[in-house]
A and B are shown apart, each in its own frame.
Chain A
């Protein structure tokens, strides 16, 4: 608890320095400070200096802060009181409350992709003190950029072991920093408006996660999934520009580290970064008179600013690609997937197929589904995407009607540019489903998750415009609208939420599979050698238990069971064929041990005779760890350790 608290303090201190030295609006500084620190550490990490990188960056942040304090020694009290705007106070308070809650409840990871990438990468980085590109492991997705796992690392870099809830805390700090940026229109005299915006931002992720938590617990603030933090950082990038008062580079340069962070988050971050700079560029065109960027004035200055942002996004993307090429010898642009296409090729082929044709059956089928899903698939508490867009447009209309002259222009432009962004985002995902995803594309797997990644920031951007109206326009009406929206969303939240289902309600039961697997892994951990290559047998596993084992036994290779396919005429023949198949596969992977998690009827029938202890005694409620003895074209399994496992 001490280390995360210390890092949080440094982030806040550096935020103060950014305010004092670079004259960034106070409420924007927590986000800029956090992502700047994270970006620098990622770059250090890309050169194999992760641990040192954190130390150097934090020390540098402290030095910069002391310099700022020294410079304003005489009026430090004034400066501090100016710095403590409502956004900053709300940010610091919610971080502390969250820290207290997390260290009390100590939640653990328990969702699918936390074990395929988002959680396991945090564990790997912490265990090795290096980026995961530098060594091989059972983890999938080695080419995914590392901003979020590194963020988790920063908050526990010198801890003795990886703590899962610290990872959640790092994400929460990022999200709360974004919320703080959303409130940046308001200073202390308008605290109540800042509270409205902050609360709305806090509840909004739940507003969209509804379809999942009706059947599942959707944790939002205790998850390693990247979608919601990335979505909020995207809105944060726009906020950092939008709420800046200055008509010069001071409005643009703070955006750059945020854009860099988004692009470092996930491949999709490239698309979101581009949309962010598109939105910012259009707002610059209508709202910034006498704009000067690095001494270049007017329209060309704006173009140059957009160009610098584009270079940042592109540079980050290709920088990571360069790193991959150097360290892993793989090509970043190669998206792979079912058709083995690169991303540029995908866009070219896709746009051609969309506009000119001829369209394949898969394309037509998914296109139809995509159009239907917009009005048919539930993505939020108020229903489908169509309803969400309607709500967003209504907020924009409020902002337009209640805004002052400049506010009206900005709201209209923002509505236009974000809508274009949405259409692009939607088409981009259509192409992803058609060309990159395999058969799972036909039922639009994870559609809602991909979509709320845009709806959440879009809704917040509409709120930015309304916030401006509450400050500069028809204050009473705009503020009333803001309050009304918060109340409505809270009402819906109360209606839908089951207290046990959200992050405050987690109990041991929520982590059932995880705890079961952990208990079994702990039971045999002492007999597992460093170089063991383990074949995991788990009857009826959909992959979740295998993922969880790769997390629990992080230092070993875990080979999943992919099912046995050969069949012969008789049972005896089938048995011989299957045993031969297993032998070949084990030789291929160099399997040294077998872990029996859950046995099955088939396994008992075909393979039990190879084991010295029947798997019916070591599977299910017990666990068995067998050594594989290779014979002449045959296998034997010798039990190393096994037994019943208590889950209490």
Chain B
């Protein structure tokens, strides 16, 4: 047995580690997809189309059918109290909006925390489409900061919360995941090797 372990070359450990981490990432994606699907079946997660007026508005006023920001930190807030998968809206901005940020709160009355923040990104094919998706999670409130510029004019078209995800949404890796795939795999391979050394009692 120990003879066999001793003979496994490092490259094999490395390969195993890369496959293992990929499988774990994939399984995690599938699990999140399953969570969303079952929440939708139970009716706790529903895709909704909203108007700007449905939100509690701060730092913005209506002007000629558009929304004008009155300070550099305008906010759109809404109570969800349920499962949440993200927000998607089409809008036209007068000047470059700056960072569009979404905050979420998992406790009632919870204060702002930079760790519960996600950036809303612009769609490459349709620059007027902005979206921010997350795996299904329970949230109480969400807050959308649509721009960081005072005096910006925003022409919102539609705002959709809880847009449905496909399985491939959950499985497509972002650059961050690819980096972490490499990092975790290297670490795992190194630990495998350490365990191998432990069994054969020969530390190098």
Interface residues of A (CB under 8 A from B): 97, 101, 104-105, 189-193, 195-196, 198-199, 202-203, 214-215, 475-476, 479-480, 483, 486-487, 490, 496, 498-500, 502, 504-505, 507-510, 512-513, 515-516, 519, 620-621, 647-648
**Cβ of B10: which chain A residues have Cβ within 8 Å of it?**
191-192
- Among residues of A, the one whose C-beta sits closest to the C-beta of B183 is A199
**Interface pick from B33-41, B54-62, B76-84, B171-179:** B171-179
Check B115 against A214 for contact (C-beta < 8 Å). Answer: yes
B15 interface residue (CB < 8 Å to A): no
Out of A105, A490, A516, name the residue touching B187 (CB < 8 Å): A490
Count B-side interface residues using an 8 Å CB cutoff. 39
Interface positions, chain B 89-122, Cβ under 8 Å from A, are 93-100, 114-115, 117-122
**Cβ of A215: which chain B residues have Cβ within 8 Å of it?**
114
Out of A195, A203, A509, A519, name the residue touching B119 (CB < 8 Å): A509
Check B114 against A476 for contact (C-beta < 8 Å). Answer: no
Check A190 against B204 for contact (C-beta < 8 Å). Answer: yes
B52 interface residue (CB < 8 Å to A): no
Docked Cα-Cα span, A189 to B178, in Å, equals 27
Check A192 against B118 for contact (C-beta < 8 Å). Answer: no
**Cβ of B127: which chain A residues have Cβ within 8 Å of it?**
648
**Shortest beta-carbon distance, B125 to chain A, in Å?**
12
B194 interface residue (CB < 8 Å to A): yes
Check A504 against B193 for contact (C-beta < 8 Å). Answer: no
Docked Cα-Cα span, A648 to B121, in Å, equals 13
**Cβ of B183: which chain A residues have Cβ within 8 Å of it?**
199, 202-203, 490
**Cβ of B23: which chain A residues have Cβ within 8 Å of it?**
none
10 residue pairs, one from A and one from B, having the closest CB atoms: A475-B203, A192-B190, A192-B193, A499-B176, A504-B175, A512-B98, A516-B96, A647-B96, A195-B190, A504-B176
- Among residues of B, the one whose C-beta sits closest to the C-beta of A480 is B194
Docked Cα-Cα span, A193 to B10, in Å, equals 13
Docked Cα-Cα span, A483 to B182, in Å, equals 17
- Among residues of A, the one whose C-beta sits closest to the C-beta of B198 is A476
Check A196 against B190 for contact (C-beta < 8 Å). Answer: yes
- Among residues of A, the one whose C-beta sits closest to the C-beta of B196 is A192
**Cβ of A195: which chain B residues have Cβ within 8 Å of it?**
186-187, 189-190
Out of B94, B121, B174, B187, name the residue touching A486 (CB < 8 Å): B187
Check A496 against B115 for contact (C-beta < 8 Å). Answer: yes
**Shortest beta-carbon distance, B124 to chain A, in Å?**
9
**Shortest beta-carbon distance, B69 to chain A, in Å?**
12
B16 interface residue (CB < 8 Å to A): no
Which of B117, B182, B187 has the most chain A CB atoms closer than 10 A to its own CB?
B187
**Cβ of B194: which chain A residues have Cβ within 8 Å of it?**
192, 479-480, 483
**8 interchain pairs, CB-CB under 8 A:** A101-B175, A192-B193, A199-B186, A479-B203, A483-B191, A505-B176, A508-B121, A510-B119
- Among residues of B, the one whose C-beta sits closest to the C-beta of A475 is B203
**Cβ of A516: which chain B residues have Cβ within 8 Å of it?**
95-96
Docked Cα-Cα span, A577 to B189, in Å, equals 73
**Cβ of B119: which chain A residues have Cβ within 8 Å of it?**
500, 505, 507, 509-510
B26 interface residue (CB < 8 Å to A): no
**Shortest beta-carbon distance, B20 to chain A, in Å?**
16
**Cβ of B97: which chain A residues have Cβ within 8 Å of it?**
509, 512
What total count of A-B pairs have CB within 8 Å?
A: 105
Docked Cα-Cα span, A513 to B198, in Å, equals 54
Docked Cα-Cα span, A483 to B191, in Å, equals 7
**Shortest beta-carbon distance, B10 to chain A, in Å?**
6
Docked Cα-Cα span, A101 to B182, in Å, equals 13
Docked Cα-Cα span, A487 to B190, in Å, equals 11
**Shortest beta-carbon distance, A519 to chain B, in Å?**
8
Which of A104, A192, A199 has the most chain B CB atoms closer than 10 A to its own CB?
A192
Check A515 against B175 for contact (C-beta < 8 Å). Answer: no
Check B121 against A191 for contact (C-beta < 8 Å). Answer: no
B66 interface residue (CB < 8 Å to A): no
**Cβ of A502: which chain B residues have Cβ within 8 Å of it?**
176
Check A483 against B190 for contact (C-beta < 8 Å). Answer: yes
Check B94 against A621 for contact (C-beta < 8 Å). Answer: yes
Check B175 against A505 for contact (C-beta < 8 Å). Answer: yes
Docked Cα-Cα span, A195 to B189, in Å, equals 9
Docked Cα-Cα span, A475 to B198, in Å, equals 11
Docked Cα-Cα span, A372 to B85, in Å, equals 44
Check A487 against B203 for contact (C-beta < 8 Å). Answer: no
- Among residues of A, the one whose C-beta sits closest to the C-beta of B99 is A509
B164 interface residue (CB < 8 Å to A): no
**Extra 20 A-B pairs, beta carbons < 8 Å, given A192-B197, A214-B115, A512-B99:** A105-B175, A190-B204, A191-B10, A193-B204, A195-B190, A199-B183, A199-B190, A202-B183, A483-B191, A483-B194, A486-B187, A498-B115, A498-B117, A500-B119, A504-B179, A505-B175, A507-B119, A509-B100, A647-B93, A647-B95
Docked Cα-Cα span, A647 to B97, in Å, equals 9
Check B117 against A487 for contact (C-beta < 8 Å). Answer: no
**Cβ of A504: which chain B residues have Cβ within 8 Å of it?**
174-176, 178-179
- Among residues of B, the one whose C-beta sits closest to the C-beta of A187 is B204
**Shortest beta-carbon distance, A611 to chain B, in Å?**
20
**Shortest beta-carbon distance, B12 to chain A, in Å?**
13
**Cβ of B70: which chain A residues have Cβ within 8 Å of it?**
none
- Among residues of A, the one whose C-beta sits closest to the C-beta of B120 is A509
**Shortest beta-carbon distance, B98 to chain A, in Å?**
4
Docked Cα-Cα span, A101 to B189, in Å, equals 23
B135 interface residue (CB < 8 Å to A): no
**Cβ of B118: which chain A residues have Cβ within 8 Å of it?**
498, 500
Which of B127, B197, B203 has the most chain A CB atoms closer than 10 A to its own CB?
B203
Check A214 against B114 for contact (C-beta < 8 Å). Answer: yes
B148 interface residue (CB < 8 Å to A): yes
**Shortest beta-carbon distance, A204 to chain B, in Å?**
13
**Cβ of B174: which chain A residues have Cβ within 8 Å of it?**
499, 504-505
**Shortest beta-carbon distance, B34 to chain A, in Å?**
22
**Shortest beta-carbon distance, B139 to chain A, in Å?**
16
Docked Cα-Cα span, A202 to B183, in Å, equals 9
**Shortest beta-carbon distance, B187 to chain A, in Å?**
6
Docked Cα-Cα span, A190 to B177, in Å, equals 27
Docked Cα-Cα span, A460 to B36, in Å, equals 43
Check B99 against A510 for contact (C-beta < 8 Å). Answer: yes
Out of A191, A475, A647, name the residue touching B193 (CB < 8 Å): A191
Docked Cα-Cα span, A508 to B193, in Å, equals 41
Docked Cα-Cα span, A487 to B186, in Å, equals 12
**Cβ of A508: which chain B residues have Cβ within 8 Å of it?**
121-122
Docked Cα-Cα span, A203 to B187, in Å, equals 12
**Shortest beta-carbon distance, A550 to chain B, in Å?**
19
Docked Cα-Cα span, A102 to B153, in Å, equals 34
Given contacts A195-B186, A475-B203, A496-B115, contact A507 B121 (CB under 8 A): yes
